[in-house]
């Protein structure tokens, strides 16, 4: 199981074991049990901490498709080479080297030692033109002596007087004929070389003990060997390229990555992670889709973690931001407000992204009146607050030409503090940190920042730079959130491999209606006065508030977050 350390001790953060894609399910399961977390480090990547064996196995789980693809490519190349190569047949003849007219035993032993010493020198003579030229002429091979020599190999077994002559050729019958012809011609050449001057015969005799026969099957290519070599080469290349890509990829791909990045920048701890759900575009509030679903539980865990950030003085005004656009901060803001309201608190969600606001559009509320309307004195906050079910929303209003100046002004601080007096919690959706200066400008008006990082998109450099930018303004950072983490294949999600929903009677049915929090007299929700006489709820068609159905259709590594279009 995964835990995060808090002031009161470790707090469990997730409760569902994820199944990894084949063929690395077993590896992922081993990693999920945490059995390899105490293995000694084995790899160091420049610019990163030491990586242990479990990190390597998680890397294989992430990159197994690319590695398998190159393995299949190598196998295909091996098959192609096998069928494209002309078959070659091997024919071998064996000769025995002996000395003539040595009948005495001592002389025979001496002659045997002499033959063993000489036979290695004879092996070099086999491919000489003195042997190959007569053979090419006699068999009419159409080859030059050097071409024939390249077809011939010799072997001298250790501690023997045997010499084996092997010929490779595309025709099995011709390979046998060439081998036998070379053996006979070689015997004649050696006898001529070893015959003393003036003598009628040579003391050395080479006898063919095993003539070459027609081979029944080709010696090469070998399909099994070629395919195996292709597979191994492909897997090796794929693993190497994957490691190279991994070392160059600085995106955050696990909760550990985000933890290490924030720690290196002197930032806060990671408070939670939120699973990717492609139904976000249709159900921006997690509990509207499945009150006991994985995504809804992730935000409940985030709510619980926030309570332990500072037990003596829990944050009341919470700003949610990200390093760059498109990391899901608006979705996190909406669902954090919903999770806090579900706990029985009165919550106001403020859209303070005065460049590309998206809260009202995502929740299908009126966009034209809101924060800026109150700041310039055209209306009071009570007149432009809108109901979003269990929580209240203050939209951005008309976009100003100077957002940073407005957010740093005293009017914004006054509006936020007045809301904090009326509500238990105020959640502020802000602009990204790095592109503009709007978010740091409101530092004096908030109790702390939550930094959202998106799985597979946010880089360690962006997160580090965002943390430093927020630290410069002196406001507390409450924690980090890993957004859009995959529901499957993330080996750092520990716990149960099933959901833990209440038992129902009769036929089980999926709960898709959001649970209503019990009324609490101690925390009455403020009224939501109408804007110009009417207060549209989520689902109304007023305004240009329909969410873009094209969002959240791609995989977690490439999905655009519904409710954050920066």
Strands across the sheet containing 270-275:
270-275, 477-485, 448-454, 317-322, 425-429, 347-351, 392-394, 386-387
Q: For 167-191, write each residue's pLDDT tens digit.
A: 999 999 999 999 999 999 999 999 8
Q: Of all residues in the chain, what percent carry a pLDDT higher than 70?
A: 74
- 253-263: buried (b, 16+ CB within 10 Å) or exposed (e) per residue? bbbbbbbbbbe
Q: What are phi and psi of 24, to 5 degrees?
A: -110, 25
> For residue 212, what pLDDT band results from cuts at 50, 70 and 90?
very high
Q: For 474-529, write each residue's pLDDT tens digit.
A: 888 999 999 999 876 444 444 334 455 555 544 444 444 444 444 434 334 434 43
Q: Taking the alpha carbons of 43, 250, 448, 494 in that order, is the dihedral positive or negative? A: negative
CA distance 561 to 122: 79
Per-residue pLDDT, averaged over 77-104, amounts to 86
Q: For 239-255, write each residue's pLDDT tens digit.
A: 999 888 888 889 998 89
From the number of C-beta atoms within 10 Å of its C-beta (0-12, 13-18, 19+), residue 355 rates as middle
Strands (E), 359-513: 386-387, 392-394, 425-429, 448-454, 477-485
Q: Across all residues in the chain, what is the average pLDDT? A: 79
- Please list, in sequence order, all residues whose beta carbon lies within 8 angstroms of the beta carbon of residue 480, skipping any fewer than 6 positions away: 258, 259, 262, 267, 268, 269, 270, 271, 450, 451, 452, 453, 463
CA distance 118 to 120: 5
From the number of C-beta atoms within 10 Å of its C-beta (0-12, 13-18, 19+), residue 367 rates as buried
What pLDDT sits at residue 110?
58
- Please list, in sequence order, all residues whose beta carbon lies within 8 angstroms of the beta carbon of residue 268, skipping any fewer than 6 positions away: 262, 451, 477, 478, 479, 480
Q: What are phi and psi of 303, to 5 degrees?
A: -60, -45
What pLDDT sits at residue 118?
80
CA distance 244 to 260: 20
What pLDDT sits at residue 503?
55
Q: What is the DSSP letter of 280?
A: G
Q: What are phi and psi of 2, to 5 degrees?
A: -100, 140
- pLDDT(103) > 70: no
> For residue 274, what pLDDT band results from cuts at 50, 70 and 90?
very high
Q: Which of 74-88, 276-290, 416-430 has the lowest mean pLDDT?
A: 276-290
CATH code for residues 89-210: 3.30.70.1130
CA distance 566 to 563: 9
Domain assignments of the chain as residue spans, ordered by start = 36-85+223-248, 89-210, 257-485
CA distance 497 to 20: 11
Q: What is the DSSP string of 435-450?
A: T-SHHHHTGGG-SEEE
User: 4, 463 in Cβ contact below 8 A?
Assistant: no
Q: For 282-324, write each residue's pLDDT tens digit.
A: 889 988 878 888 999 999 999 999 988 888 888 999 999 999 9
User: 307, 8 in Cβ contact below 8 A?
Assistant: no
What pLDDT sits at residue 270?
95
What pLDDT sits at residue 555?
40
Nearest to 560 by CA among 323, 360, 140, 280: 280
For β-strands 204-210 and 152-155, DSSP reports them as unpaired
What does R_g of the chain's alpha carbons equal in angstroms?
40
Tell which CATH architecture fits domain 257-485: 3-Layer(aba) Sandwich (3.40)
What pLDDT sits at residue 511?
40
User: 525, 392 in Cβ contact below 8 A?
Assistant: yes
CA distance 286 to 555: 18
Instruction: Compute CA distances 397 → 70, 208, 430, whole Å.
Output: 53, 103, 14
pTM over 0.75: no
């Amino acid at each position: 199981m995964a835990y995060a350390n808090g002031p009161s001790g470790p707090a469990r953060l997730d409760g569902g074991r994820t199944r990894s894609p084949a063929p690395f399910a077993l590896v992922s399961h081993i990693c999920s049990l945490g059995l390899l977390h105490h293995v000694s480090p084995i790899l160091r990547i420049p610019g990163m901490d030491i990586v242990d064996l479990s990190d390597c196995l998680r890397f294989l789980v992430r990159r197994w498709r690319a590695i398998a693809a190159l393995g299949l490519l190598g196998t295909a190349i091996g098959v192609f080479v096998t069928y494209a190569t002309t078959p070659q047949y091997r024919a071998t003849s064996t000769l025995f080297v002996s000395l003539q007219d040595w009948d005495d035993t001592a002389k025979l032993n001496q002659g045997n030692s002499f033959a063993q010493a000489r036979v290695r020198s004879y092996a070099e003579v086999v491919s000489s033109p003195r042997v190959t030229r007569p053979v090419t002429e006699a068999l009419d091979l159409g080859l030059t002596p050097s071409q024939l020599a390249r077809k011939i190999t010799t072997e001298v077994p250790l501690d023997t007087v045997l010499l084996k002559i092997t010929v490779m050729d595309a025709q099995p019958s011709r390979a046998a004929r060439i081998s036998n012809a070379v053996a006979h011609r070689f015997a004649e050449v050696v006898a001529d070389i070893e015959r003393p001057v003036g003598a009628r015969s040579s003391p050395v005799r080479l006898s063919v003990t095993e003539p070459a026969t027609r081979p029944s099957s080709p010696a090469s290519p070998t399909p099994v060997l070629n395919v195996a070599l292709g597979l191994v080469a492909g897997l090796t290349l794929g693993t190497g390229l994957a490691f190279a890509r991994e070392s160059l990829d600085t995106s955050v791909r696990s909760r550990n990555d985000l933890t290490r990045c924030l720690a290196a920048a002197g930032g806060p701890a990671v408070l939670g992670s939120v699973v990717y759900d492609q139904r976000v575009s249709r159900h921006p509030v997690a509990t509207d889709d499945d009150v006991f679903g994985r995504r809804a539980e992730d935000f409940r865990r985030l709510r619980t973690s926030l309570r332990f950030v500072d037990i003596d003085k829990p944050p009341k005004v919470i700003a949610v931001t990200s390093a760059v656009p498109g990391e899901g901060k608006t979705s996190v803001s909406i669902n954090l407000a919903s999770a806090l309201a579900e706990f029985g608190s009165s919550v106001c969600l403020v859209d303070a992204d005065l460049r590309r606001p998206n809260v009202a559009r995502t929740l299908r509320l009126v966009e034209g009146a809101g924060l800026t309307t109150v700041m310039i004195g055209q209306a009071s906050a009570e007149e432009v607050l809108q109901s979003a079910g269990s929580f209240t929303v203050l939209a951005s209003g008309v976009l100003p030409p100077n957002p940073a100046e407005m957010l740093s002004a005293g009017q914004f601080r006054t509006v936020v503090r007045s809301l904090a007096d009326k509500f238990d919690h105020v959640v502020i959706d802000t602009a990204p940190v790095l592109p503009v200066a709007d978010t740091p400008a409101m530092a004096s008006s908030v109790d702390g920042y939550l930094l959202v990082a998106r799985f597979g998109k946010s880089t360690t450099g962006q997160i580090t730079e965002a943390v430093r930018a927020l630290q410069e303004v002196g406001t507390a950072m409450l924690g980090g959130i890993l957004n859009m983490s995959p529901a499957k294949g993330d080996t750092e999600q520990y716990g149960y491999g099933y959901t833990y929903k209440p038992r129902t009677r009769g036929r089980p049915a999926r709960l898709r209606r959001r649970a209503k929090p019990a009324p609490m007299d101690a925390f009455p929700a403020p009224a939501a006065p109408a804007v110009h006489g009417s207060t549209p709820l989520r689902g109304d068609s007023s305004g240009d508030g329909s969410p873009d159905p094209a969002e959240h259709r791609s995989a977690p590594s490439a999905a655009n977050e519904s409710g954050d279009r920066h």
